[in-house]
């Protein structure tokens, strides 16, 4: 039987299988020749001391012990072409994993996506980056794979209560992700590799008898006696089903407006909003690793920081080491920023959302919009940023120290944000209380991370799509909408998830609840 050990090693040892075996042999006091295999189960970086170490949890197999390489196998997906149909609106991680789970449980998914397939999205991403043209149905937020596919592909969640994270990671590996995501503390696939994985998931759904519809927008719901009957498409077609999973993401404002018009209960929800801060990645490495050069065995350093300022949280969000900032507007006349990293995280800059916690009272100027007040607040800032920056996809920008001193930057260097930037005093973009909290917060950040507060760092505005500004309430047990039977609000768009993993888990949970009813 293998023995499980936890230990620390240098980055060089962690990167070399032979050196790792030698270290383990010394640890358990045997000859290196007696080590058959070191199977790393979990790996993380400990950068708290000057001598940086990797934390390793591993199974040690000695010579003579049975060692069989393990491989991840996908679940058994039967053909469901003739089975009962369930509609899924949205082909992001929640929708895709819900569809796969329905197939596994013997039901036929009808997956409806307003955007294009994952390859077709690329032309529209180029259009927004290069020409400033926003396609309302195909962009960084909408299309096969959802927002995470082309805006980073991080695979970790802070919550351990949501469900089986390892199952989701195993399915990703089964569809082609590197097995390293099962090991790393902060797994990441990368925007360059996720598209093929999403395409393979879709092809599996279709090969098993499921239906996937692209460039097909749902414009209405068929509801009778507070029960779902189906959906209406933009071309007027009606697809009937008694169960509908609503997995439309946090930016599908038309869906929130549709539900509100139809009298379907929704609620305003607090969220966070701020800027994208971009530093030279080398500077972040120096701060985090306390070194002049990180070397070849350490990955580009991330950071995570939280401060309380005037009774509000200000924190880093979706940090992208070795990454770029992208334009993520979903409608003309607005500017939205987000970040992503390729799988190698090899870009010269790192960026992070730096956002301020909002409260329901902040939305009072928009209270006439009822449950859409937070959404209108969000929209007003995005539209103001568009106007101030020149009514293109250029982003308002300011050097970090200049921002803390309320000075317009005399010059902005070229950043990773392809559409370009316009020097703006950020106090013009944000309500005064948000700007003031960020000014004080960045000063505090600089005291905790020496070197972070610098004019080499460029702020881009706004980072506004951190989570949904609306919650679509559902029953805690059945996961059905509290008012409409057969409607399953799901994942980020409904206010019940925050990222690829938690969205995928929530999609599976909704599928399981539906199967419990339909398979009786």
Strand partners, 459: 277, 398
Give yes or no for residue 191 having a pLDDT over 80: no
pLDDT value of residue 452: 98
Q: Show the CA angle centred on residue 418, arms to residues 413 and 423, nearest 5°.
A: 40
DSSP strands (E only) in 411-495:
421-423, 458-463, 470-471, 487-489
Q: Calculate mean pLDDT across residues 112-128.
A: 95
Give yes or no for residue 160 having a pLDDT over 60: no
Q: List helix spans (H) across 389-464.
A: 400-404, 432-448
Q: Confidence class of residue 218 from pLDDT cuts 50, 70 and 90?
A: very high
Alpha carbon distances (Å) from 95 to 99, 195, 280, 464: 6, 15, 36, 23
Q: Calculate mean pLDDT across residues 356-377.
A: 98
Q: Look at residue 264 and give its three-state secondary structure.
A: coil
Q: What is the DSSP letter of 131?
A: I
Give yes or no for residue 361 having a pLDDT over 90: yes
Give yes or no for residue 27 having a pLDDT over 80: yes
Q: What is the DSSP letter of 120?
A: T
pLDDT, tens digit (0-9, with 9 covering 90-100), for 323-345: 999 999 999 999 999 998 888 88
Give yes or no for residue 24 having a pLDDT over 90: yes
Give yes or no for residue 158 having a pLDDT over 90: no
pLDDT, tens digit (0-9, with 9 covering 90-100), for 162-187: 568 899 999 999 999 999 999 998 88
Residue 7 is inside which H or E element, if any? strand 3-9
Q: Calculate mean pLDDT across residues 70-96.
A: 95
């Amino acid at each position: 039987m293998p023995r499980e050990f936890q230990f620390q090693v240098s980055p060089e040892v962690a990167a070399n299988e032979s050196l790792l075996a030698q270290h383990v042999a010394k640890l358990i006091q045997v000859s290196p020749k007696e080590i058959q295999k070191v199977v790393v189960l979990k790996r993380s970086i400990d950068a708290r001391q000057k001598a940086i170490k990797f934390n390793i949890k591993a199974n040690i197999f000695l010579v003579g012990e049975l060692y069989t390489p393990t491989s991840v196998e996908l679940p058994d997906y039967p053909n469901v072409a003739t089975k009962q149909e369930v509609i899924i609106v949205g082909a992001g991680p929640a929708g895709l994993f819900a569809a796969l789970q329905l197939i596994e449980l013997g039901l036929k998914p009808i997956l409806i996506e307003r955007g294009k397939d994952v390859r077709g999205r690329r032309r529209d991403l180029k259009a927004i980056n290069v020409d400033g043209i926003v396609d309302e149905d195909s962009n960084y937020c909408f299309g096969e794979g959802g927002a995470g596919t082309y805006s980073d592909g991080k695979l970790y969640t802070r919550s351990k209560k949501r469900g089986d994270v390892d199952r989701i990671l195993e399915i990703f590996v089964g569809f082609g992700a590197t097995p390293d995501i099962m090991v790393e503390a902060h797994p990441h696939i990368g925007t360059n590799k996720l598209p093929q994985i999403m395409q393979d998931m879709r092809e599996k759904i279709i090969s098993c008898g499921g239906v996937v519809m692209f460039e097909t927008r749902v414009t209405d719901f068929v509801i009778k006696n507070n029960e779902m009957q189906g959906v209406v498409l933009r071309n007027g077609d009606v697809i009937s089903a008694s169960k509908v999973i609503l997995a439309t993401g946090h930016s599908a404002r038309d869906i929130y407006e549709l539900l509100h018009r139809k009298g379907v209960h929704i609620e305003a929800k607090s969220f966070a909003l701020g800027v994208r801060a971009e530093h030279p990645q080398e500077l972040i490495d120096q701060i985090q690793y306390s070194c002049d050069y990180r070397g070849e065995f350490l990955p580009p350093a991330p950071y995570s920081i939280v401060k309380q300022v005037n009774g509000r949280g200000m924190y880093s969000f979706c940090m992208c080491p070795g990454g770029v900032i992208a334009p993520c507007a979903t409608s003309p006349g607005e500017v939205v920023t987000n970040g992503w990293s390729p799988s190698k995280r090899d870009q010269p800059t790192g960026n992070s959302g730096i956002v301020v916690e909002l409260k329901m009272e902040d939305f009072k100027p928009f209270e006439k919009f009822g449950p859409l007040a937070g959404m209108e607040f969000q929209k007003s800032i995005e539209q103001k940023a568009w106007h101030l920056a020149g009514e293109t996809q250029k982003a308002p920008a300011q050097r970090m120290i200049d921002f803390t001193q309320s000075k317009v930057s005399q010059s902005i260097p070229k950043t990773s944000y392809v559409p370009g930037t316009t020097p703006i005093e950020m106090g013009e973009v944000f309500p005064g209380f948000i700007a003031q909290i960020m000014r004080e917060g960045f000063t505090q950040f600089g005291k905790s991370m020496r070197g972070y507060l610098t004019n080499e760092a460029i702020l881009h505005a706004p980072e506004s799509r951190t989570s949904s500004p609306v919650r679509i309430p559902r029953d805690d047990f059945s996961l059905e909408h509290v008012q409409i039977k057969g409607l399953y609000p799901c994942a980020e768009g409904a206010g019940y998830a925050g990222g690829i993993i938690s969205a995928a888990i929530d999609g599976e949970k909704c599928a399981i609840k539906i199967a419990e009813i339909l398979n009786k």
